[in-house]
């Protein structure tokens, strides 16, 4: 193929960054917000801080949006907090929660930043779990419908890009890590009933968006980790296919085609699994037509064949940021994941593989022919201010430069990509490593110890915002619409 020296981005391409309510807002007990399941889950990650304060975005909205505008953003992907909007089972709408998001959306629009809004990013209200049964109960579908309707009616006049469920595949594949499996006696089988209820909530949201939001577009947000075969051995290729099926493709096929694939249905039959499909469910799923696919992609994995006689091993993620702590999974008769000698690794043992983003976009476009947007892609690292109070995050600049270059190549390959929103705008609470694992373009000047002390004292720290070197670099790239790279590119070699 022939490419320009640097790929060209469409003139209307949207540049921004991402966050999620539970990881950035803080103020978990203010203005009527009630607890979420993920709040409780975050308290189990000691010695890291929980999400009570996080980046305190709740009290820094104007400052944060002003920084986005300074950087040159034309989009911002964030999520709404279900328990901030519907705090109790009586279904009453919390007007303080509506006002908070109205103010955020209005501030974004005033700075010509397009809001891209996620309905659900892990923060199920505690009342839904305790009173309805959470994702294990079909009663949750009606509660989610009420929540989604409320959001579309409140914000749909200004928000035209909507995301339904963040990383449904990860919630099922890593249910123990995210707490989704809590209360299930047989997760091997129960996960598919939980998954089916989430699919019905997704389908309900898609149809409601098209009904209530004039010009509204909506799509899912799969977490995409492409799987390479470890060798040219034919069974390693089958292993890679199996790994992609069980971590990604099952969900993407369902979103796009509105039905469960032959592969999945055969798997259920072979393992005596009842996914809980009731009359009318398949019709609902088939009626929900998504407009695009959002993509969260940080890294790749590598798979080799695992014979049926292999010893099973659960995936054990690195929870400390000390290299070498991750334990890869082994699924006998299907696949095992292994280290890739051709890529570098972060301190959390995540592959640094910019080509994975190009692969994912090509893969999704080839399979589904739907517009794509990148909603997460980023580099987590230990970071501290230097003696001048500055943060020099050259490793993040290198990561973003290489990934954005591969994104540009995917566009030149023919993929229709409309937006790039890396994770994250500010430092925020990591899913398992507090604020110590930093992803932001903007440094939040607080530590996990300080957040923990603030919990005890009741005094919220200033959470001062400091622009990192990556903020300045990204701003120049945005302003040039992807022509000012500020350094050499390895071209994936």
List residues with catalytic annotation: 167, 376
Residues 6 or more apart whose Cβ sits within 8 Å of residue 465 = 60, 63, 64, 67, 426, 442, 443, 444, 445
CB 101 within 8 A of CB 80: yes
Query: What is the rounded CA–CA span in Å between residue 222 and residue 361?
Result: 12
Map the chain to HEC letters: CCCCCCCCCCCCCEECCECCHHHHCCCCCCCCCCCEHHHHHHCCCCCCCCCCCCCCHHHCHHHHHHHHHHHCCCEEEEECCHHHHCCCCCCCCCHHHHHHHHHHHHHHHHCCCEEEEEEECCCCEHHHHHHHCHHHCCHHHHHHHHHHHHHHHHHCCCCCEEEEEECHHHHHHCHHHHCCCCCCCCHHHHHHHHHHHHHHHHHHHHHHHHHHCCCCEEEEECECCCEEECCCCHHHHHHHHHHHHHHHHHHHHHHHHCCCCHHHHHHHHHCCCCCCCCCCHHHHHHHCCCCCEEEECCCCEEEECCCCCCCCECCECCCCCCCCCCECCEECCCEEEECCCCCEECCCCCEECCHHHHHHHHHHHHHHCCCEEEEECCCCECCCCCCCCCCCCHHHHHHHHHHHHHHHHHHHCCCCEEEECCECCECCCECCCECCCECCCEEECCCHHHHHHHHHHCCCCCCCEEECHHHHHHHHHHHCCCCCCCCCCCCCC
Tokens at residue 106, please?
A: 């209005």
Handedness of CA 98, 104, 110, 112 (dihedral sign): negative
Query: What is the rounded CA–CA span in Å between residue 284 and residue 275?
Result: 16
Alpha-carbon radius of gyration of the chain: 21
Query: What is the rounded CA–CA span in Å between residue 485 and residue 480?
Result: 9
């Amino acid at each position: 193929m022939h490419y320009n020296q640097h790929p060209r981005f469409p003139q209307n391409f949207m540049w921004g960054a991402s966050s999620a309510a539970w990881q950035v807002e803080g103020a978990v007990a203010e203005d009527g917000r009630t607890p979420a399941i993920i709040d409780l889950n975050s308290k189990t990650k000691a010695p890291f801080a929980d999400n009570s304060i996080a980046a305190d975005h709740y009290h820094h909205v104007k400052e944060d949006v002003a920084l986005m505008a300074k950087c040159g953003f034309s989009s911002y992907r964030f999520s709404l907090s279900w328990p901030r909007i519907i705090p109790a089972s009586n279904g009453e709408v919390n007007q303080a929660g509506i006002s908070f998001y109205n103010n955020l959306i209005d501030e974004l629009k005033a700075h010509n930043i397009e809001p891209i809004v996620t309905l659900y990013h892990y923060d199920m209200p505690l009342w839904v779990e305790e009173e309805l049964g959470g994702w294990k109960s079909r009663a949750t579908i009606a509660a989610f419908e009420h929540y989604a309707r409320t959001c579309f009616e409140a914000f749909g006049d200004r928000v035209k890009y909507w995301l339904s469920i963040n990383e449904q595949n990860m919630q099922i594949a890593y249910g123990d890590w995210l707490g989704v499996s809590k209360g299930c006696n047989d997760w091997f089988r129960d996960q598919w009933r939980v998954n089916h209820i989430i699919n019905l909530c997704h389908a309900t949201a898609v149809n409601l968006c098209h009904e209530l939001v004039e010009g509204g577009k909506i799509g899912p947000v799969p977490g995409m980790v492409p799987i390479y075969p470890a060798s040219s051995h034919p069974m390693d290729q089958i292993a890679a296919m199996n790994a992609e099926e069980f971590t990604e493709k099952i969900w993407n096929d369902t979103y796009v085609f509105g039905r469960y694939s032959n592969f999945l249905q055969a798997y259920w039959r072979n393992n005596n699994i009842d996914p809980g499909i009731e009359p009318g469910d398949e019709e609902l799923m088939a009626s929900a037509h998504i407009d695009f696919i959002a993509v969260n992609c940080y890294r790749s994995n590598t798979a080799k064949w695992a014979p049926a006689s292999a010893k099973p091993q659960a995936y054990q993620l690195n929870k400390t940021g000390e290299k070498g702590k991750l334990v890869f999974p082994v699924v006998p008769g299907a696949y095992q994941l292994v280290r890739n000698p051709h890529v570098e690794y972060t301190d959390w043992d995540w592959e640094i593989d910019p080509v994975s983003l190009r692969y994912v976009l090509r893969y999704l476009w080839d399979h589904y022919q739907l517009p794509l947007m990148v909603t997460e892609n980023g580099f987590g690292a230990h970071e501290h201010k230097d003696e001048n109070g500055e943060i020099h995050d050259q490793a993040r600049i290198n990561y973003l430069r290489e990934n954005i270059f591969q994104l540009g190549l995917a566009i030149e390959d023919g993929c229709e990509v409309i937006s790039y929103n890396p994770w994250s705008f500010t430092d925020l609470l990591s899913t398992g490593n507090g604020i110590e694992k930093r992803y932001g373009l903007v440094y939040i000047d607080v530590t996990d110890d300080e957040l923990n002390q603030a919990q005890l004292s009741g005094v919220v720290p200033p959470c001062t915002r400091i622009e990192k070197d990556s903020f300045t670099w990204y701003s120049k790239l945005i302003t040039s619409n992807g022509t000012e790279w500020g350094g050499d590119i390895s071209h994936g070699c």
